[in-house]
Structure 1
Amino acid sequence: MVCDLHMHTVFSDGSVWPNIRVMEANKDGLDVIATTEHLEYQSWISDIPHPDRNRSYELAKGFAGKSGLLVINGSEITREMPPGHANAIFIKDANKLIKDDPIESFLEARKQDAFIFWNHPYWASQSPDASVPLDQLHIEMINNKLIQGIEIVNDTTYSNEAFQLALDYDLTILGTSDIHDIVDWQYRIPSGGHRPVTLVFAREKNEKSLKKALLNGQTVVWFNKKLIGKPDYLIPLMNSSIKVKSANYVNNTTIAHVVMSNNSDAPYTLRNQSNYDFYNATNLITIPPHGTTIIDVRTITKKRKFDLEFEVLNALIEPDTHPIFRIVVRPKQ
Structure 2
Amino acid sequence: MMSVPEGEDLLIIAGSEITRRPPHGHMNAVFIEDANELFSVPGNAADWDTASFGAAARNWPAENAVDAANEQGAFVFWNHSWSDFDNAKTVITDFHRQATLDGKLHGIEIANGSTYSPESFQIALDHGLTPVGVSDVHNLIDWDHEPHNGGHRPVNLVFTEERTVEAIRESLIEGRTVVWFRNLLLGQLEHMEPLLNASLQLIGTRYLGEDSGVLEIELTNVSDATFELENLSDYTLVQSHDIIEVPPHSSETYLLRTDGRPNRGDLQFRVLNALIAPDANPEMQFTFDVTSNF
- Superposition TM-score, scaled by structure 1 size: 0.79
Match of 2:175 in 1: 217
Amino acid of the structure 2 residue aligned with 1:318? A
The aligned runs of 1:20-59 (5 Å cut-off) are 58-59=1-2
Structure showing greater radius of gyration is: 2
Match of 2:34 in 1: 93
The answer as to 2:265 corresponding to 1:306 is yes
The answer as to 2:212 corresponding to 1:253 is yes
Give yes or no for contact 1:255–1:300 (8 Å, CA) kept in 2: no
| Equivalent residue for 2:71, pick from 111, 122, 132 | 111
Match of 1:5 in 2: none
Name the SS of the counterpart of 1:130 in structure 2.
coil
In the alignment, the residues of structure 2 paired with residue 138 and residue 278 of structure 1 have an alpha-carbon distance, to the nearest angstrom, of 48
The answer as to 2:28 corresponding to 1:68 is no
| Equivalent residue for 1:144, pick from 93, 102, 117 | 102
In the alignment, the residues of structure 2 paired with residue 273 and residue 121 of structure 1 have an alpha-carbon distance, to the nearest angstrom, of 36
| Equivalent residue for 1:230, pick from 188, 195, 200 | 188
Match of 2:51 in 1: none
Match of 1:20 in 2: none
Give yes or no for contact 1:249–1:332 (8 Å, CA) kept in 2: no
Match of 2:89 in 1: 131
Amino acid of the structure 2 residue aligned with 1:199? L
Give yes or no for contact 1:202–1:210 (8 Å, CA) kept in 2: yes
Q: Unaligned regions of 5+ residues in structure 1, if any?
A: 1-57
CA pair 243-133 structure 1, distance change in 2 beyond 3 A: closer
In the alignment, the residues of structure 2 paired with residue 134 and residue 320 of structure 1 have an alpha-carbon distance, to the nearest angstrom, of 19
- Superposition TM-score, scaled by structure 2 size: 0.89
In the alignment, the residues of structure 2 paired with residue 130 and residue 220 of structure 1 have an alpha-carbon distance, to the nearest angstrom, of 23
Amino acid of the structure 2 residue aligned with 1:207? V
Name the SS of the counterpart of 2:286 in structure 1.
strand
Match of 2:201 in 1: 243
Ranges of 4+ aligned residues in structure 1 off by more than 6 Å: none
TM superposition shift of 1:74:
0.2
Amino acid of the structure 2 residue aligned with 1:247? T
The answer as to 2:230 corresponding to 1:271 is yes
Name the SS of the counterpart of 1:239 in structure 2.
helix
TM superposition shift of 1:127:
1.1
Q: Unaligned regions of 5+ residues in structure 2, if any?
A: 41-59
Give yes or no for contact 2:80–2:112 (8 Å, CA) kept in 1: yes
In the alignment, the residues of structure 2 paired with residue 102 and residue 141 of structure 1 have an alpha-carbon distance, to the nearest angstrom, of 11
| Equivalent residue for 2:18, pick from 51, 55, 77 | 77
Match of 2:284 in 1: 325
The answer as to 2:242 corresponding to 1:283 is yes
TM superposition shift of 1:329:
1.2
Amino acid of the structure 1 residue aligned with 2:272? L
**Alpha-carbon displacement from aligned partner over 1:108-134 (angstroms, at most 9, x marks no partner):** 0010010100111111xx212111142
Amino acid of the structure 2 residue aligned with 1:84? G
The answer as to 2:81 corresponding to 1:121 is yes
Match of 2:43 in 1: none
Per mean C-alpha deviation after superposition, the further-off stretch among 275-284 and 258-267 is 275-284
Give yes or no for contact 2:207–2:214 (8 Å, CA) kept in 1: yes
Match of 1:182 in 2: 140
TM superposition shift of 1:65:
6.6
Give yes or no for contact 1:281–1:295 (8 Å, CA) kept in 2: no
In the alignment, the residues of structure 1 paired with residue 240 and residue 119 of structure 2 have an alpha-carbon distance, to the nearest angstrom, of 36
TM superposition shift of 1:296:
1.2
| Equivalent residue for 1:172, pick from 119, 130, 145 | 130
In the alignment, the residues of structure 1 paired with residue 246 and residue 257 of structure 2 have an alpha-carbon distance, to the nearest angstrom, of 19
Give yes or no for contact 2:91–2:119 (8 Å, CA) kept in 1: no
